[in-house]
Each structure stands twice: as C-alpha cells, then as structure tokens.
Structure 1
Amino acid sequence: MRIIKYLFLLFLLSLVALTIYIATQKGNFTVESSKVINSPKASVFNYVNDYKNWPKFSSWISEDPSIKPSFSPTTIGRGSTFTWERSNNTGNIETLYTKGNDSIVQKMEFDETSSDVYWSFKDTVGGTKVTWKSVGKMDFMLKVSSFFNLGTKNTLSKVYNKSLANLDKTLDFENSAFSIKINGIVKKLETYYLRQSFTSKISDITKNANAVFPKIIAFCTQNNIDQNGKPFIIYKTYDTIKDLAKVSFCIPIKEQIFTSDGSDILSGKLVAFEALKTSLTGNYTYKNKALAETTAYTTAKQIQIGSTFSHLEIFTKGKNENLSPSKWLTEIYFPITPKNTAPPVVYKKAVNDSLVPQHKTKKQDSEFDF
C-alpha cells in the first residue's frame, strides 16, 4: 500500500513538473504551409475570400459535426467575419485586407490564442501556389497540444496541410464541372434597369462586377427602388484581341426612373428583342467556351448576329444562391438580325374605287439605352 502511495505521489509531482514546464515554454509561433491547387488563381482567391466556403475545406470544422458556424452579413473581403462554436471552445476570424487575386490578411482568435493570418496566391505550373501562414501566440491548451504533438508547427501544419488538400479537391471538382446548352432563338422582354457603364479589361469583368453590383443594389435600397430580377451585364463591344469591352453593369427594376444629373448610376431601358440564348451551367470562367460554341452554332445555322450590341449576360444563379460553382447558371443572349421578308401589301381605295397596292413600312424600335 505504501508503495502505491509513493507511486501516486511521484505521478502527481511529475504531472505538476510537466505542467510548469509546458506553461513556461515560449508561446510565440510561426506556421506556414503551401500547396499547388489545380485551379486558376482568380477562382482559388475568390473561393478562400468568401467565408461561406470555409466549412467545406477547413479540416477542424469539416471533421467536427458539433461545430456551429456563423457569418457576418457580408462574407467577402475586408470587414467580413466567420465564427465557429463547439461545446468547449470558440473561434473567430476577420478579414483585415485583401489585394485582388493576390493576397488576404486576417486576424484569428481561438480561445486564448491569437494569430495574424496571411494568404498568398501565385500562378505556377499546374495551377496556383497557395501559401497559408500564421504568426501568433499560444494559450496554455495549445501549448499542451503542441507538446504532445512534437511542437506547434507539427500541430498546426497538420491542420493547414489537410485543409489545403481539401481546398484542392473541392475546387478541382467544382471548377471542372460545367455544361453548355444552346437554347435557340427566344424573345427577350423589355427591361428597365439601373446601370454603371465604363470600358473595362475583359479579364477584370468579374472583379468589377463584385464591386459595382453591390453599389447599385445599395442605391436601390437607399432610394426604395424595387428590383425586378437578377444582375446582368450588357457588352456594347467585346474585343478579345485588346482584352477590352465597353460594358454596363445593370440591376433590373420594376419601373422606369430618372436619376439626378452628375450621378454615376444611371437609368436605362432595354427594349424587347429577338436573341439566340445560350445557358452556361458551372463556373463563370468557362464563359469563353460558351461564346465560342455559340459562334460556331450561328455559323452552322447561318444566324446573323445583330449589331446593336455584342451580347448580354444574366447571372441567374451565382454564389448568393448556391455555394457550389458547378451549380451556377449564366444565361447569355445574342441579339440577332431578323431575316429579310417582303413587306406586307396593304390596299387602299382609289377615287375610281379600284384597289391600288401600297407598301406599309414598319416603324423601328427605339435604340438601346446605354
């Protein structure tokens, strides 16, 4: 019995000594993990930059069904936050700064542990090199976990490496699954809208859309203007050689309004027109494939595309409706030139009661307002 007491006392002393040893260890740490993601840089950046996607690839969340995630009203870019809770701890991360498609800076709090988080995205052979780095200070529990896992770097690197592998796997599927359907000739109905127009690089369209659409929507909210459908872009010109397009970013509204002089948000009216419709299901990055297939279709079917504008894209289903890029839907309308037909003959009565043929001319619709 005495031996058992001595052994128990020795165990307690050892436990106290170990606790003191762990508590007095330096709490500062730097952890960095990198992986080449088999997806375009813009796609990877946009996916990581939206906190709604984090539960899908963050290993500490995806592997624990008890965690309850919550998000700030805005989940993208500076000021957005993501919080997760479970029975014994909580975590929070906030985006402090982003540089389009290149880097993200965040602040993470996990129990008593605080760290500065840095993401970088670089084009490389095979896709995008993503580097995830944390610099911070551990609380006691993380020190304990670090001790038994042979160091902080080993502990957090396992989490980061697994999360980056999840990111690669998720994006590989989401960004590679797409389909294109030529719907045929349809009638596009008249639409009133609010717009902001300028010349943009075609490669910057997505970035500009993410900035302009929320601005117009906020304008509608502030002025009690009812929206009437999904955001769309009118391409007045589309020059792939110069990588330039004259575009109008538009939010459809129920009634026609007139904005004040000097406003950078203007009103417009899209008159009804006949169009060749193409549907792209999947990531918007495959838009050029949809344009190419439509061009080939118009050539094969001898369909003449009109000259009023290049085409119109409606974002029928995007990340606000579904987090999976493979489920996104973009509807593209190409104005067409009606086939020449002989004008109808209308007869009128002459003085001598004989019928004299008279050609009736059709009044042209008003021009599209850009």
Structure 2
Amino acid sequence: MRIIKYLFLLLLLSFVALTIYIATQKGNFTVKSSKVINSPKATVFGYVNDYKNWQKFSSWIASDKDIKLSYSPTTAGKGSTLTWEGINDSGNIQTLYTKGNDSIVQKMEYNGTSSDVFWSFKDTIGGTKVTWKSVGKMDFMLKVNSFFGGGTQNKLSKVYDKCLANLDKTLDFENTTFSVKINGIVKKLETFYLRESFTSKISDITRNANVVFPKILTFCKQNNLPLNGKPFIIYHTYDTINNLTKVSFCIPIKEQIFTSEGSEILAGKLDAFEALKTSLTGNYTYKNKALEKTIKYTTDKHILIGSNFSHLEIFTIGKNESLSPSKWLTDMYFPIKPKVIPPPYRKVVKDSTRIVPTTIKNEVQSEF
C-alpha cells in the first residue's frame, strides 16, 4: 500500500514538474511554408485575397463537412473577414493590408491563439513562389499540444504545406478548364466608345490591356461618363506570322463625345454589323483555341469573315467579376463580309427601225 502511495506521489510530482516546465517555455512561434504554384502571380494573389476561395484550399475547412463559415460584405481586400465554427476548430481572420499582387497581411485567431499572417507572391520559373508565414504567441493549452504533438512549428507547417498543395491543385484545375462554343451569326448593335489605339505584339495584349483599360476607366470617372457595357478590343489587323496587331482597347459609353486633339484617348463609334459569334469560357490564354475552332467553322461552312477589321473581343466575365479563371467568359465577334449580289440580267432588244441621230462631241480644251 505504501508503495502505491509513493508511486502516486511521484506521478503527481512529475506532473507538476512537467506542467511548470511547459508553462515556462517560450510561447513565441514562427511557422513558414513555401511552394511554387503553377499559375500567374496575379491569378494566385487574387485567389488567395478573396476569402470566398479559402474553403477550396484550406485543409482545416475542407476536412470538416459541418463547419459554418461567415463572411464580411466584402470578401476581398483590406477589411474583409472570414469566421469559421467547426467541430474541432474555430477562429477568424481579417485582412489588414494588401500591396498590388505582391503581398497580403492578415490577423488570425485560431482556436484561441492569435497570430500575424504574411503572404508574399513572387514571379519565378514555373509559376509563382508563394510564401505563407505566421508569427504568434501560444497560450498554455497550445503549449501542451505542441509539447505532445511534436511542436507547433511542425504541426502548423504540415497544415500550411497541405493548404499550399491544395491551392496549386485548385488553380491548376481553374487554369486548364475551358470550352469553346460557336454561337452562329448574330447582329452586333451600334456602340459608342472611348479607345486608345496602337500597334502591339499579339503576345503583349494582356499586359497592355492591364495598363490601358484602367487608364480609360479613370478618364471616364474623372469626366462623369456613364459606361455602357464591358471592355472590348478591336483587332484591326492580326498578323500571326510577325506577331503583330493594330489594336484598339475600348470602353463602351452611353453617348457619343468628342475628345480634344492630340489626346491619347479618342472617341469612336462602332456601327452595327453582322458577325459570327464565338464564346470562350475559361482562361484567356486559350484564346488561340477559340480562333482555331472559328477558322475551321468558317471554312467548313464557307463563311467569309474579316470585312472591316479582323475581329472583336468582349470581356463579358473577367477577373473583376470572378477570380476563378474557369468561369471567365470572352465573347468574340468576327464581322462577315457581305455577299455580292450581281445585278439582275436584262435582255436588251435593238430596234432596227429606229433612226439614231448623229451627235457631234465638243472637244474638251486641254489643260496643258
């Protein structure tokens, strides 16, 4: 009996000693995980920046089917929040700061532990290098879990690694899922627009669009010009051999206006025309697939296209409307050349009995 008491006292003393040891350990922790994501930097940043997408790559959310999520009215950018209540995990996260497509700073409460969260996005070979870092302080219970679970850094690093792997897989699906649909011949209505035109490499269209469209939209805002649709591009020429195109980046407006002489931004009017319409659903990088399918269709159906310009592209659903590239929609219009209708044949019968008077032409005075 005495031996049992000694063993119990020893066990109690050991427990007290272990408790004191755990409680006196430093509570600061830093967790960092990195991975190269096979997607453009802007796409990766935009996807992470919107909390509506977190349930698709956050392992602790995806693993709990009964978890309840709640969002702030704005789910992306500074001030946006996400709160979760699950069986094993609960917490919230708020975005404090974002910088371009380069970084995100957040504050997170996870199972009672507070941490500062930092994301960085850098272009690299093969895609985008994403680094996810958390700096925080553990409470007593987290110290206990850390002691018996192999350390907070080790445990959270595995969670972060899994989340980044999910992010890569999810975005790979988003960027490789696309479809092309030939809608047939339609009537494109008259449109007034503001434009900036120049000659560009075809491969630089996306980069130029990211610069020019915001510039025209700012011009519209400064001059209180109401918009009348989605941004579009007119390809006046399209030389795939030399990778060159004469192009106009356009923003549709409700009324025709006149811009000052010498302005980079000019006003224009697109007359109504008949066109073959093709719709590309998915990442814009598959544009050439849509062009190839359209050319094959026009060849098979003997349709002549490209009367006044090569084609027109409208960004019906883009990154401003959806951060999922698989849901982007680009509508392409190829103007149809009008059919040449020969004049009706009229048989002329010569009257042999008619006397034709002789006409004497006056000589035209020479200019020399």
Would the alpha carbon gap of residues 45 and 344 (structure 1) be closer, same or farther in structure 2, given more than 3 Å must change?
Answer: farther
The structural deviation recorded for 1:263 is 4.2
- How many pairs are equivalent? 329
Q: Distance in 1 between matches of 2:236 and 2:144?
A: 62
Q: Distance in 1 between matches of 2:215 and 2:183?
A: 32
The structural deviation recorded for 1:312 is 0.3
2:160 is paired with a residue whose SS is helix
Q: Distance in 2 between matches of 1:179 and 1:83?
A: 34
Paired position in structure 1 for 2:135: 137
1:138 is paired with a residue whose SS is strand
Would the alpha carbon gap of residues 133 and 308 (structure 1) be closer, same or farther in structure 2, given more than 3 Å must change?
Answer: same
141-150 or 164-173: which moved more?
141-150
Would the alpha carbon gap of residues 131 and 42 (structure 1) be closer, same or farther in structure 2, given more than 3 Å must change?
Answer: closer
1:183 is paired with a residue whose SS is strand
Q: How does 1:201-350 map to 2 (within 5 A)?
A: 201-261=201-261, 263-343=263-343
Would the alpha carbon gap of residues 282 and 134 (structure 1) be closer, same or farther in structure 2, given more than 3 Å must change?
Answer: closer
Task: Give RMSD over aligned pairs.
Answer: 3.5
Report if aligned partners of 1:275, 1:333 keep a CA contact under 8 Å in 2: yes
Report if aligned partners of 1:72, 1:80 keep a CA contact under 8 Å in 2: no
Paired position in structure 1 for 2:155: 155
The structural deviation recorded for 1:5 is 8.4
Structure (1 or 2) with the larger CA radius of gyration: 2
1:245 is paired with a residue whose SS is strand
Report if aligned partners of 2:275, 2:333 keep a CA contact under 8 Å in 1: yes
271-280 or 303-312: which moved more?
303-312
Paired position in structure 2 for 1:70: 72
Q: Distance in 2 between matches of 1:265 and 1:254?
A: 16
Q: Distance in 2 between matches of 1:344 and 1:217?
A: 51
Structure 1, gaps ≥5 residues long: 347-370
| 1:14 has 2:18 as partner | yes
The structural deviation recorded for 1:170 is 2.1
Would the alpha carbon gap of residues 50 and 91 (structure 1) be closer, same or farther in structure 2, given more than 3 Å must change?
Answer: closer
**What letter matches 1:122 in structure 2?**
T
Paired position in structure 2 for 1:122: 124
Report if aligned partners of 2:49, 2:104 keep a CA contact under 8 Å in 1: no
Q: Distance in 2 between matches of 1:244 and 1:18?
A: 67
| 1:32 has 2:36 as partner | no
**What letter matches 1:165 in structure 2?**
A
Paired position in structure 1 for 2:81: 83
The structural deviation recorded for 1:7 is 5.8
The structural deviation recorded for 1:31 is 1.8
Q: TM-score, normalised by structure 2?
A: 0.74
1:284-324: CA deviation from partner (whole Å, max 9, x where unpaired): 22111000111122223332223522210112223444444
The structural deviation recorded for 1:231 is 1.8
**What letter matches 1:268 in structure 2?**
G
**What letter matches 1:34 in structure 2?**
K
Q: TM-score, normalised by structure 1?
A: 0.74
| 1:171 has 2:171 as partner | yes
The structural deviation recorded for 1:93 is 3.6
| 1:59 has 2:59 as partner | yes
